[in-house]
Structure 1
């Protein structure tokens, strides 16, 4: 038997058919599941009924995308715990297993004997890279491989544990001192106590959680939703006070979210950047999810942090995207941020649920009024009317929001956490940061990036979103979901409409 081929096939199939025994009502059902998985592996290795096997894999991915991602995260968490235990026990780095299961077999060479129940760390050795296929939803584990060996050999136990306790985890390697300092500062923006408190919220029936990856229209959706539920009330000091961010509210001074009254406005609104698995759940709770083209979100992320966590020009946009945004993966626990791709993939299975409104940033901009109507219909606020919806449209334009810059500039969080992050107390508030509301162009992320960065974005999509959704690109993904939901907005495409808009109308409200 060609063991190298078997290892490649096994790595791929086991990363997809990755359920554990506790997910079955009886052991016999689990045994049947394993037997079916072994049959698929055998047939693919031997070249038997390959088309049928691939069709079976594709159908399984479509029906189990959520559990695939969740179980991968569990494996990474188990590895992290094992590594921490070995560090505590004083096991030298070279003697510790930095990879396990399938990945270890690849590292040992083609002659390694495969075994049942192989596992792999999120970061696969270079020798196993060729085994990655579009059917795999990989993780970017924290401190895996050589990083763990370095941690055990050069850091104390406390320093190693601090590495994993940083909020949020940003522990990938850095090529420059500026990038290292930026990650170090961002890790202190949230505390473990604060993040845990926020994500432990017990939402009440009727609450609405606005769930977006970073820089995907969070402020825009907040402005629309608050305007609708408050009859256009603009008396709030800062948007994050009346719509608290779950991960950051506690550290900003809002320490009792369960009893947060939000000035009496209903429904209560909360925002989060967490993926589905970490987002609070509850009976009668609703969710508005917003996705965005990762290229544009990445460029916006860069401008948002520039002038706050690093000086403009100190870090290049390609360096930022390669070593920060693209370095994120599937969280190993709730203390880590999901990549934008894993975030979108985690919410995708729920896009058609009655309590979920799945939107796209590009449509919020190009079809503003139509999307305000969708949001109003979903929120079902009291005293809804066309006049109220017109107010919400106006109050969520860039022209209106720029009249009230301090209401959308994150100043409450910055004033509370800048010094803890090792930053100047006025960092991000002195005019050098692009802030939350800025003018820009949708679709220009691709024009600003190096070819290798664009290729890395494409690779990330193929690794995460393609197997989870079946869509080959973001635009195909957006159009597919809108078609499913029966949204036409207009006969022309969003991109063509945006290109004809004035520079001021072509806004980013992130």
Structure 2
């Protein structure tokens, strides 16, 4: 993978497609009492939970246009803090930034989504491979896993991101869930999220079966693969083409973006398989050994891996 395409912003490795001013404004943004912030390490269920929350908050009517959907539910470090304070924003805020690099607000609501490190590494591999120039020849999973274990990937180390939020899981304004829980029982998790967002949201889903079923149907993996069938670069380019009335100053650098996806390796998808256990078709015995050593080192003194005690992980 191409680590030369990273910029370091306050010790967080970021892709150069992220405007530095936007990243810094996201780091400095203090969420308000009306904000719902979804926090994840990349490829841990961000898009899935974001879509569920957006449906709950918009009464199952989130924008279908990619750019307008991003304005409804912005990735803070991509669009900047300006996107968070727009009056028409109706969905949750999204960030992959580490806890140490954001302003934590006791007034806002946070949903942290975790995914087991084995499946996360595989999903990250395919996603970031699709954002890697074809001039980089070695895009093997073996090479990526080495970078993943050393924290030399976008947003930095997986466990450095996860463990601080794991320690916050009992805070009253934090809901901690796992990708695997969403996969196993989507309906139960949807209600859990709705109750966390506010009694009125949980009540609305329980009293209106049609609304509840629409949220479940829309957030199915099959439907989401159809909705999110564009690449990250196509999504960003769409932001630069917004009409003046909806345009943000923070989007200026996206105007006229000319990145050719044909010069990238294949693999960048927001929704790929969505399986639990897909790592088994990628990990060799040597990969498992290396990963077990890494996990033991990074989680010493933490019970964070208990999140997946029901999975048959090595």
Do the two structures share a fold, i.e. TM-score over 0.5? yes
Q: 1:168 to 1:308 in 2, by over 3 A?
A: farther
User: Any conservation in 2 of the 1:363–1:371 contact (CA below 8 Å)?
Assistant: yes
Which residue in the other structure is 1:241 paired with? 71
Which residue in the other structure is 2:110 paired with? 287
Provide the C-alpha distance between the structure 2 equivalents of 1:275 and 1:428, rounded to a whole number of angstroms: 32
Deviation at 1:299, TM superposition (A): 0.6
From 205, 218, 230, give the equivalent of 1:385.
205
Deviation at 1:284, TM superposition (A): 1.6
Which residue in the other structure is 2:8 paired with? 166
Which residue in the other structure is 1:212 paired with? 40
Matched residue of 2:41: which SS? Answer: coil
Deviation at 1:245, TM superposition (A): 1.1
From 398, 408, 414, give the equivalent of 2:221.
398
> CA deviation digits over 1:64-85, x for unaligned, max 9?
xxxxxxxxxxxxxxxxxxxxxx
From 281, 286, 304, give the equivalent of 2:127.
304
From 317, 321, 326, give the equivalent of 2:141.
317
> CA deviation digits over 1:313-358, x for unaligned, max 9?
74100101102x22218x9xxxx83411111111111111111110
Q: 1:206 to 1:232 in 2, by over 3 A?
A: same
From 172, 177, 182, give the equivalent of 1:364.
182
TM-score, normalised via structure 1 length: 0.50
Long gaps (5+) in structure 1? 1-161, 172-185, 480-492, 496-510
User: Any conservation in 2 of the 1:394–1:400 contact (CA below 8 Å)?
Assistant: yes
Matched residue of 1:466: which SS? Answer: coil
User: Any conservation in 2 of the 1:167–1:192 contact (CA below 8 Å)?
Assistant: yes
Q: 1:170 to 1:245 in 2, by over 3 A?
A: closer
Provide the C-alpha distance between the structure 1 equivalents of 2:228 and 2:6, rounded to a whole number of angstroms: 36
TM-score, normalised via structure 2 length: 0.79
CA RMSD in angstroms, aligned pairs only: 3.4
Matched residue of 1:378: which SS? Answer: helix
Deviation at 1:366, TM superposition (A): 1.2
Q: 1:338 to 1:205 in 2, by over 3 A?
A: same
User: Any conservation in 2 of the 1:288–1:358 contact (CA below 8 Å)?
Assistant: yes
Provide the C-alpha distance between the structure 1 equivalents of 2:19 and 2:62, rounded to a whole number of angstroms: 30
Determine which structure has greater relative contact order: mean sequence separation of CA pairs < 8 Å that are 6+ residues apart, divided by chain length: 2
Which residue in the other structure is 2:247 paired with? none
Matched residue of 1:461: which SS? Answer: helix
Q: 1:259 to 1:187 in 2, by over 3 A?
A: closer
Q: 1:285 to 1:270 in 2, by over 3 A?
A: same
Which residue in the other structure is 2:303 paired with? 470
Long gaps (5+) in structure 2? 241-250
Matched, 1:340 2:164: no
